[in-house]
Amino acid sequence: MTAPATSAADTAVVLVAHGTVESLDDLPRFLANIRRGHAAPPELVAEVRRRYEAIGGRSPLLDITREVARKLEKALELKARVAMRLFEPYPKEVVAKLASEGIRRVVAVPLAQHSAGVYGSAMQAAAKEVDPSLEVFCARNWGRTPELTRAFADTIIAELDRIPAGEAEQTALVLTAHSLPRAVVQAGDPYEQEVRASAEDVAAEVRARVGDRFAEHMVAFQSQGIGTGVEWLGPDLRPTLEDLAKRGKKHVVVAPIGFLADHVEILYDLDIEARGWCEGELGIVLYRSASLNAGDGLVEALSVVVRDVLARPGDFAAPSVSSRESRPSRGG
């Protein structure tokens, strides 16, 4: 079925991110949302609060995402808004506001580029509740979009340029993404496969542009849930770094290609925790590639994704299938 012609006046883009809090007092409610309505134990709330405090007391995720929306709105000449799947502003309130402004079509773009299905489903459900006549077109997984690959490569090359010449054999590139419970992947979720394919794309792009500036590259998974008691997708980042140190590597570029913007799992898990391991007992130097944040590279990639949806909206009338409802997480 072909959707009616798109009009800029009645079409909007909604960038859907994981979620974060503006006040640390909201952490119990946020964590309960992540845990599907189950209250987080006090010790978990305290630990997450400690991590937020360590990065300055708040995550920049919402501010960054709003800036991305502003730039995307200018690039596409379409209204662009932000929703957070697991906290305010929730998809329902964003969709309701857009409907009140005369919007009839929404292009939902998940900012978890390998997990589009669960984010698209949240937008579809919100639209159905607000106004079943609203059309919601959901971008599919877009982690291998060439523009995104090039943007990640740019940030990695900037870190490789900081490593002294002649140190390629002592240099490794570790491309990271958020871990998931292994049972999710075993149930058929393509997340791991897509992350690994994206990592190969990025590593190949870097090598094509700067040659053999690192001896090897690998994927590691980070930010496993705290106290979940389940098996998580690996290899974990810590043992990966330990192995590299044992094998004589002196420089490790950690590239969080599973994430788009700074938040607690970058600013704490990598910049504080992982850097502490490396500078302490492991004796290696960690170079963390910059997040894309609201840079031109991400805006260009998102523009391509949105234009693809608008060019053939009938192909995006339902979100891609996911075998999970939620990604356990420490926060945004």
pLDDT digits 0-9 by tens, 132-142: 999 999 999 99
**Are 8-142+294-316 and 146-288 the same fold in CATH?**
yes
Q: Is the pLDDT of residue 227 over 80?
A: no
With bands split at pLDDT 50, 70 and 90, how would you rate the model's confidence at 226? confident
Each as own residue / partner, the long-range contacts of residues 204-209 (CB below 8 Å, 24 or more positions apart, any chain) are: 205/149, 205/150, 205/152, 205/153, 206/153, 206/156, 206/157, 206/160, 206/173, 209/153, 209/157
Residue 44, H or E segment: helix 42-54
pLDDT in tens, 69-85: 999 999 999 999 999 99
Query: 302 is written with which tokens?
Result: 């998102």
Amino acid 316: pLDDT? 86
Q: What does CATH list as the number for 146-288?
A: 3.40.50.1400
Q: Contact at 8 Å (CB) between 319 and 124?
A: yes
Q: Using a cut of 0.85, tell me whether the model's pTM lies above it.
A: yes
At 266-320, the pLDDT tens digits run: 999 999 999 999 999 999 999 999 999 999 999 999 999 999 999 998 888 876 6
Q: Which amino acid is at 326?
A: S
The residue type at 58? R
Count of residues for the chain? 332
For residue range 21-65, what is the model confidence (pLDDT) as tens digits? 999 999 999 999 999 999 999 999 999 999 999 999 999 999 999
The percent of residues in the chain predicted with pLDDT above 90, rounded, is: 89
The pLDDT assigned to 326 comes to 46
Domains of the chain by residue range: 8-142+294-316, 146-288
**Residue 89: cis peptide before it, omega within 30 degrees of 0:** yes
- pLDDT (tens digit, 9 = 90+) per residue, 96-149? 999 999 999 999 999 999 999 999 999 999 999 999 999 999 999 999 999 999
CATH of segment(s) 8-142+294-316: 3.40.50.1400
